[in-house]
């Protein structure tokens, strides 16, 4: 008769679980999967090997260096996902960009979710069960959605059905993972709300987004105030003024304005030398005044 899994050992956390990993899996794989689904382990970078079947093999070096610099300051916030293939040996499932940047930053270990082989269905159930918890912050929710998409191969529509949320809700959460680490950390610490985060995620320019984030924290801006600031920065710029007319054409324009008694008259000139004279009027009376100039 198989020995029952040590529930007390599971409760002690991920380190206790990894100590007797194979035995725990053999006795109660479902309980192990549930524990792993919401537990993050610190894994030595040297023990992680890249999946040889990883389809992506081209990474922007400048972007990796930028991420590595951020990791040196903030550490890795979004865990990678690995599969345990033996004692002290793990194979990467997702997060190769983060792993490469961690190596550039010379991090000794990184946070990781651990998977075991053939646990697809149980993992999906465990993650969906975990996301129903009430004490998750927006980043934790976003990471869970992303894991369900990447590790369980769920399309947005299928994922929305499984968790009982609108597709837009899932999309808005996952967009948060593209924000820089300092903003993600502020979300986790509840220093800014989901509404603030969504607004900042819509700002593509890094310097502007960083400035707005710091202003939001410093002045304790409401979501509406932040949205108004962003709208003001992103409003279409005023149309460029028409090129200045050459002096001789400008003199012609001034003579016409003097003749018709209106500064609204505009002489337009194209590069080919073609042009037109425009005389706007705001009322019938103004039109009659223009006609009187001609009649005279």
Would you please indicate which residues are annotated as catalytic (active-site) residues? 96
Give the number of other Cβ atoms within 10 Å of residue 281's Cβ. Answer: 14
State the angle between helix axes of 138-151 and 120-131 in degrees (0 to 180), rounded to the nearest 10: 160
Write the DSSP assignment of 53-96 as a string of letters: T-S-----HHHHHHHHHHHHHH---S-EEEEEEETTEEEEEE-H
Give the number of other Cβ atoms within 10 Å of residue 80's Cβ. Answer: 22
Write the DSSP assignment of 101-129 as a string of letters: HHHHTT-SEEEEEEE-TT-HHHHHHHHHH
Structure tokens of 204? 């593509």
């Amino acid at each position: 008769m198989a020995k029952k899994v040590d529930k007390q050992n599971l409760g002690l956390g991920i380190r206790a679980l990894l100590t007797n990993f194979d035995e725990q899996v053999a006795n109660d794989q479902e309980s192990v999967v549930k524990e792993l689904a919401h537990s993050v382990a610190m894994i030595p970078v040297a023990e992680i090997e890249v999946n040889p079947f990883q389809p992506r093999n081209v990474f922007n070096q400048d972007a990796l260096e930028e991420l590595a610099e951020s990791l040196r300051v903030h550490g890795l916030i979004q865990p990678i996902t690995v599969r345990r293939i033996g004692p002290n040996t793990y194979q990467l499932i997702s997060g190769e960009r983060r792993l490469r940047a961690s190596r550039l930053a010379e991090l000794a270990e990184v946070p990781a979710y651990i998977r075991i082989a053939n646990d697809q269905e149980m993992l999906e159930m465990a993650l969906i069960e975990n996301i129903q918890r009430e004490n998750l912050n927006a980043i934790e929710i976003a990471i869970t959605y992303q894991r369900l998409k990447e590790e369980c191969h769920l399309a947005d529509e299928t994922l929305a059905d499984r968790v009982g949320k609108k597709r837009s809700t899932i999309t808005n959460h996952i967009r948060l993972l593209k924000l820089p680490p300092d903003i993600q950390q502020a979300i986790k610490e509840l220093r800014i709300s989901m509404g603030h985060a969504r607004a900042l995620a819509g700002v593509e320019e890094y310097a502007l987004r960083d400035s707005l984030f710091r202003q939001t924290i410093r002045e304790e801006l409401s979501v509406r105030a932040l949205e108004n600031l962003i709208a003001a920065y992103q409003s279409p710029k005023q149309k460029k003024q028409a090129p200045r007319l050459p002096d001789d054409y400008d003199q012609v324009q001034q003579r016409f304005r003097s003749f018709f008694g209106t500064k609204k008259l505009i002489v337009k000139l194209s590069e080919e030398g073609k042009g037109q004279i425009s005389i706007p009027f705001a009322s019938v009376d103004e039109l009659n005044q223009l006609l009187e100039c001609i009649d005279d």
